[in-house]
Chains A and B, each alone.
Chain A
Amino acid sequence: MRRSADGPPRRTRRGVTDFQIKLITLAGLLLLWEALSRLGYISPLVLPRPTRLATTLWDLSVYGFPKDITVWLHIRATLWRIVQGYLLAAVFAIPCGLIIGRYYLLERGTNPIITFARSVATISLLPLAIAWFGVSELSRVLLIMYGAFWAILTNTIQGARSVDVNLINAGRMFAATRGRIFFRVILPATLPRIFAGLKIALGISFMVIIAVEMIGTVEGLGALIQQARFFYKSDMAIDGTIFIGILGLILSLLLDWVERLTLPWAVGLEEVKR
């Protein structure tokens, strides 16, 4: 039987867990990097050594950059913008997608518009957003929403459109009203695709947020990286990037967890049995 990703820790003959192997590998790479840097093979201007990144991180979390805006405040600002834009996108895209996907004419009619809107790179709308809403939080949140919206919408439409007709017939045979068929058959049948859309949208949100934070604000990880660039502080830019990665990883894991909780019937069979 195949072992699921988060099954019991696998132990090798020497009693080392999978997690320990990953940790040792990472530590080894960092050590190698540090050593090459100290021996002069890597210029600290091009790639600062790990210990330098660590001390910069300490400065960032205690004193902040610009002064008093600590890395935690940057993270909070970025996270808050993503949460607002992403949730707004989900709240509008899921109901719209379910309805469009269930009405053939609506789906055919909106199809070119949606394909067009989805193909427009969100960042190219930045000047327009600034013209309409100024260099403001609203502009930033709306751009994240725009980027996330289409991914969730198109996936929800696809899911709603391809619900097994026999399941709908079963709903009709077993006394479900139109409303119940919508909420108890079409919605749950579409959920796996909705989650697929939500995952893609999360990635898009991260691309959009960093770009929109590079303009007109000093708060946020994107702003931190931009500021670091102005002052040629590559160690700070790298620290900011690492945090973006960690934040993205945590949010993805959170989404996976919500999915497993919501769709115990759709995830791997072994996990269901446990």
Chain B
Amino acid sequence: MSRGDLKVEVAHVSKQFNGEDPAHGLALSDVSFGVRTNEFVAIVGRSGCGKSTMLNIIAGLLDPSEGEVLINGKPVKGPGLDRGMVFQHASLFPWLTAIENIEFGPRNLGVPRERRRLLAQGLIELVRLKGFEGKYPRELSGGMQQRVAIARAMAMDPEILLMDEPFGALDQLTREDMQRELLRIWEGHKKTVLFVTHSIIEAVYLADRVLVFAPHPGCIRKEFSIGLPRPRQKSSTEFMRYYEEIYEAIG
């Protein structure tokens, strides 16, 4: 794959957290990988393997200690409109209603009231939350909150969606619904997705490619291309084979 095709390029990134002893403070050590345009990449690994740190560095919320991240060939200097983020616990603004949360980004960009309302209405429909526009986050279930969080990220129309264990706190059934919803949205609005999870099944179900991270220090241990057509059957033998290979890689 040539450099020109890469939407995201992570080059020799290390992250040393200040004030911690070097043996444990090294969250990431010389990590390099690329993500192609419209590719869906999942990062899996045990807690503490630096996968969330990696996502935050790509988001521009954290600076790498060494190395750099390139988006469309340009180095990341901080958060940007080309990247949207869906946080682990939705992290919606509790004082804003569902639709106001979705409008938060466009409002900061100075999009006029009517236009951003229209945009948000469309996204409410996309994430199937019609009738819940005026609800505050605490009045919504966990799954609904994550739908709002996805819509909030989509409202900026980013090229890249960064997702940090977005379904980790949901119950099993809601989680599977959300996985299908995410694929539907991804297929409808081509986006490049980087999805951090600790669930191997989720990673194999969703992603084109799975990166397995290992801890102490955080680095990529192995990489898998998932050559299965969608929708994928979680009970199929091929699916299970990927599951077992990745399980072994995580160790």
Binding site for B on A (CB under 8 A): 164, 166-167, 169-170, 172-177, 180, 184-185, 188-189, 191, 263-266, 269, 272-273
Contact = CB atoms under 8 A, between A and B. Distances in A.
Contacts of A164: 91
Q: Main secondary structure on chain A at its contact with chain B?
A: helix
Contacts, number: 68
A265 B104 contact: no
Contact of B93 (A173, A177, A185, A264): A185
A2 to B, nearest CB: 16
B108 A265 contact: no
Interface of B: 56, 59-61, 78-79, 81, 83-85, 87-89, 91-96, 104-105, 108-109, 136-139, 152-153, 156
A188 B100 CA distance: 14
Q: Main secondary structure on chain B at its contact with chain A?
A: loop
B221 to A, nearest CB: 27
Contacts of A180: 108
Nearest to A176: B108
Given A173-B83, A173-B84, 10 more contacts: A170-B87, A172-B61, A172-B79, A173-B79, A174-B108, A174-B152, A175-B79, A176-B108, A180-B108, A263-B95
A174 B95 contact: no
Contacts of B84: 173
A265 B138 contact: yes
B89 A166 contact: yes
Contact of B95 (A170, A265, A269): A265
- Top 6 nearest A-B pairs (CB, nearest first) are A174-B105, A166-B91, A175-B108, A188-B95, A173-B85, A265-B136
Interface centre among A166, A184, A264, A266 (most CB of B within 10 A): A166
Nearest to B84: A173
A263 B79 CA distance: 30
Nearest to A164: B91
Contacts of B91: 164, 166-167, 169-170
A106 B108 CA distance: 29
A101 B50 CA distance: 29
A266 B88 CA distance: 22
